[in-house]
A = this chain, B = another copy of it.
Amino acid sequence: MAEKSFKQRLHDIIFYSDSPAEKAFDIAIIILILISVSVVMLGSVDIINADFGHVFVIVEWVITVLFTLEYFTRIYTEEKKLKYIFSFYGIIDLLSILPTYLSIIISGANMLVVIRLLRLLRIFRVLKLVRYINASETLAEAISNSRTKILVFLEAVLIIVTIMGSLMYLIEGPEAGFTSIPRSIYWAIVTVTTVGYGDIAPQTPVGQLFAGMLMIVGFAIIAIPTSIIGSEIIKTKDTTDKLCPHCGSSNHHKHAEYCYNCGGKL
């Protein structure tokens, strides 16, 4: 019984964030994540790594051990162990510790690429932060509601960049950097999203005319995803999630007292 209560208390501390102990645990984990990600980032800068490389290794192991403890405590306290292990957060938690352990096993001289990869995989610890973002429900709902429309929009963008990229490949040719259709499509994406690196840019007047048209189209296109999500966010203002208890219809006005469908009292 005492064990159960201890397990339950551990579970609450780890999975919730209401009491001071629960909040302190969350903040500790967030700080560990930020330190860990910073270490991976700074470790990739040669001049910093040369001086502090040995410190980074120690910090790395301390954090890995702490994250390992966290991982197994989560498994221990969770009722539905398998569900957690194979959930998004469970996989992220495992990926946060695995690379460090794997780096001991695989330490042959001819495995440098794999070690480099493992070291980098630790950056995915940043995804552990997702758990602590209080994702605004309205926002998530708006994005989810406009999923279909955004998909249609993305399909349209992909068709446009495929055709414009191919046309520019034909018009400009390899001199201006349009060496293949995939590369020309890459240019079209860079242009239509208004990023515009300038590493590939049309040189001929005809190419510049087409590019100019593509830009103005992209300019008008940029309006569409904005409008879609925007209108969804605004829509979620006037209606409630309440269902009519009589007929089950949804999307009632937030001040509604009677169902618009069956006339019953809500």
- Which A residues contact B (CB, under 8 angstroms)? 37, 40-42, 44-46, 116-117, 120, 123-124, 126-127, 129-130, 133-136, 138-139, 142-143, 148-150, 152-157, 159, 162-163, 166, 169-170, 179-183, 185-186, 189-191, 193-199, 201, 205, 208-209, 211-212, 215-216, 218-220, 222-235, 237-239, 241, 243-244, 247-253, 255-266
Contacts and interface: CB of A to CB of B under 8 A. Distances in A.
Nearest to A227: B230
Given A193-B215, A226-B227, 19 more contacts: A37-B162, A40-B166, A40-B181, A45-B180, A123-B162, A134-B148, A139-B152, A182-B208, A189-B212, A189-B215, A195-B196, A227-B230, A227-B233, A231-B233, A231-B237, A238-B251, A241-B255, A248-B262, A258-B259
A216 B233 contact: no
Contacts of A182: 41-42, 44-45, 205, 208
Contacts of A42: 182
A58 B41 CA distance: 48
How many copies make up the complex? 4
Nearest to A235: B237
Given A37-B162, A249-B243, A261-B258, A215 B233 contact: no
A226 B231 contact: no
16 contacts: A45-B182, A124-B163, A150-B220, A154-B220, A157-B219, A186-B212, A193-B218, A195-B196, A197-B197, A223-B228, A223-B229, A235-B237, A248-B262, A249-B249, A250-B253, A258-B259
Nearest to A127: B159
A238 B260 CA distance: 13
Contacts of A263: 257-259, 263-265
